[in-house]
Structure 1
């Protein structure tokens, strides 16, 4: 890290772009590999997206969160995590441009609606902890962040259980398998060991270049005068969400809509639970205490965009505005409004 402390603003921008491009490439490749592996082992794509793909694409957030927390950069940690929730939901809306019809029309089970409901619950729980100022702590770790971690584990258990026993099945929906685009799957005849090695390689690339993103973003925040709150909630959140963008677009182009949706909701759940390890590393008191207004706003916008897609998943027949569904249009509008709000609050 010391080698990058004296970066000029131009050098920091160049490093940021290089790392972002590398993360973009790795995330795109990972989607094809995940789709091939799920077909090879006949895994549910919603489960692959929720558990495996979302974890791999969240590696930049993990690297950013842990390194920033160890550096005692509270605002960078929280604004990157919570700001990324609205951003990644907007990524799902952008992926709708590559879908045939509204992307939220395709899921046949209520898994994704349940994912969105649990995500909204955890966002509300986090907001309650913030409003109350994280009053209880043990050895500098807030009880609120521990509670969030416990509810995350419970949410994953419930989602896995429901995935096996859900009995809500809508009818008269388009069939993604009839898209004719699944022939784009990379290396359909590749050996399983080769696919696994590629998944590991892409994940390592995301982790390594994710660290480069946080280093360059911190330098940009300091040298540009924009501050860590605004940079964390916009620039850094956007860069560390690049894997979600590339994997979601690639999955939608393959016709794997459930993989794309679960990838986004799963990544958002992970970003909330990362508050707990960040709280452990942050030694200046509970990390959810004495936060900025930007943190509150990012949680509020996260609830708003998640609620819009939750409505879209429940209301099966909805109008399209141009090439995408009305729910995706609303999500993009709310996300753009969030950027204006963050700038005013910086």
Structure 2
């Protein structure tokens, strides 16, 4: 049976059903995960921005991580590369959506955090590294490009910088009457061990849903003849990125704004790390040689959108949707239209 054969593509109908079911699981899991992560942040004193970047950012990216691994093993370079980069694009758009939901003031103003700004700068650096792979696509050691090795090293270094900034801040954003500061909230009373186990089980649910998304996305590619880059940057990333949207909206409702914004930016940084995962699991050679023009276009859009986000976090406009809230969706639409024409 195709559904049980790990090498056979799924038929179209089971693929579409799988995407819907995985999306529901991801949404329900993300809602619960936000509350657990917020309580862990308060218990440990790590702060909402770091909890959003490390706990939520990494675990809500698990569906995308598994999808990338499945795509790489299948040999579809465009699909494998488009999922992490496309995830960065659509997750950044989620911030503009949350800006509409949080009507009091510009979200980047209210969620002012030096750690989130540092995360955005780390993301820009990580997205620049794959450009080396596109410029020198034939470099490889055991089918892995040297740029791929640099990505996790820079990722680890970025986390160290964010942690250092949290412990020894050299500057802080100006606090206004619309700034929502990170303050511990009353917890559920659950033990630390129980919170940890709950979070781990939720993470497993995310990973299983990611496997379904990956197989279903490849099934759609096979059944429709659409390019892996287009499906990977739209359909599967829309489903696998639902945790970020759900946790962001949940965090905004809880007024844990730094946690929500940190989840998006931290998730984007983790998605940049997934580019290395895509290259490792793609065994035909360096993935940059086969990701095509669509991969390069998505990467350029990711750099531009991340720069707009960093500028929004720095300037902190107060009234409603800032310039970044308008420009980011425009860039995303342009990128997807461009991929469609390639």
TM-score w.r.t. length of structure 1: 0.90
Which residue of 60, 63, 67 corresponds with 1:64? 67
Alpha-carbon shift at residue 325 of structure 1 (Å): 3.2
**In the alignment, is the contact (CA less than 8 A) between 1:96 and 1:103 conserved in 2?**
yes
- Encode CA deviations 1:226-263: one digit per residue, 9 max, x unaligned: 22121011111111111111111111111111111221
Query: How far apart are the structure 2 equivalents of 1:69 and 1:43?
Result: 35
| 2:49 matches 1:49 | no
| 2:74 matches 1:74 | no
| 2:331 matches 1:328 | no
Query: How far apart are the structure 2 equivalents of 1:145 and 1:178?
Result: 35
Tell me the residue number matched to 1:260. 260
Tell me the residue number matched to 1:116. 120
* Unpaired runs of at least 5, structure 1: none
Tell me the residue number matched to 1:204. 204
Query: How far apart are the structure 2 equivalents of 1:326 and 1:273?
Result: 28
* Unpaired runs of at least 5, structure 2: none
Tell me the residue number matched to 1:342. 339
| 2:33 matches 1:36 | no
Tell me the residue number matched to 2:152. 149
Distance 1:318 1:327, change over 3 A: farther
**In the alignment, is the contact (CA less than 8 A) between 2:119 and 2:162 conserved in 1?**
yes
Tell me the residue number matched to 1:128. 132
Alignment of 1:158-173 (within 5 A): 158-173=161-176
Distance 1:114 1:6, change over 3 A: closer
**In the alignment, is the contact (CA less than 8 A) between 1:109 and 1:169 conserved in 2?**
yes
Aligned residues: 337
Alpha-carbon shift at residue 178 of structure 1 (Å): 10
| 2:88 matches 1:91 | no
Partner secondary structure for residue 255 of structure 1:
coil
- Encode CA deviations 1:23-56: one digit per residue, 9 max, x unaligned: 1111111011111221233321111111111111
**In the alignment, is the contact (CA less than 8 A) between 1:222 and 1:228 conserved in 2?**
no
Tell me the residue number matched to 2:225. 225
Which residue of 175, 180, 190 corresponds with 1:176? 180
Tell me the residue number matched to 1:3. 4
Distance 1:207 1:88, change over 3 A: same
Distance 1:39 1:75, change over 3 A: same
Query: How far apart are the structure 1 equivalents of 2:192 and 2:157?
Result: 32
Alignment of 1:97-108 (within 5 A): 97-99=100-102, 100-108=104-112
TM-score w.r.t. length of structure 2: 0.91
Query: How far apart are the structure 2 equivalents of 1:224 and 1:140?
Result: 30
**In the alignment, is the contact (CA less than 8 A) between 1:251 and 1:259 conserved in 2?**
yes
**In the alignment, is the contact (CA less than 8 A) between 2:31 and 2:246 conserved in 1?**
yes
Query: How far apart are the structure 2 equivalents of 1:44 and 1:344?
Result: 44
**In the alignment, is the contact (CA less than 8 A) between 1:217 and 1:235 conserved in 2?**
yes
Query: How far apart are the structure 1 equivalents of 2:258 and 2:175?
Result: 17
Distance 1:172 1:159, change over 3 A: closer
Query: How far apart are the structure 1 equivalents of 2:113 and 2:72?
Result: 38
Distance 1:153 1:43, change over 3 A: closer
Query: How far apart are the structure 2 equivalents of 1:133 and 1:234?
Result: 27
**In the alignment, is the contact (CA less than 8 A) between 1:104 and 1:313 conserved in 2?**
yes
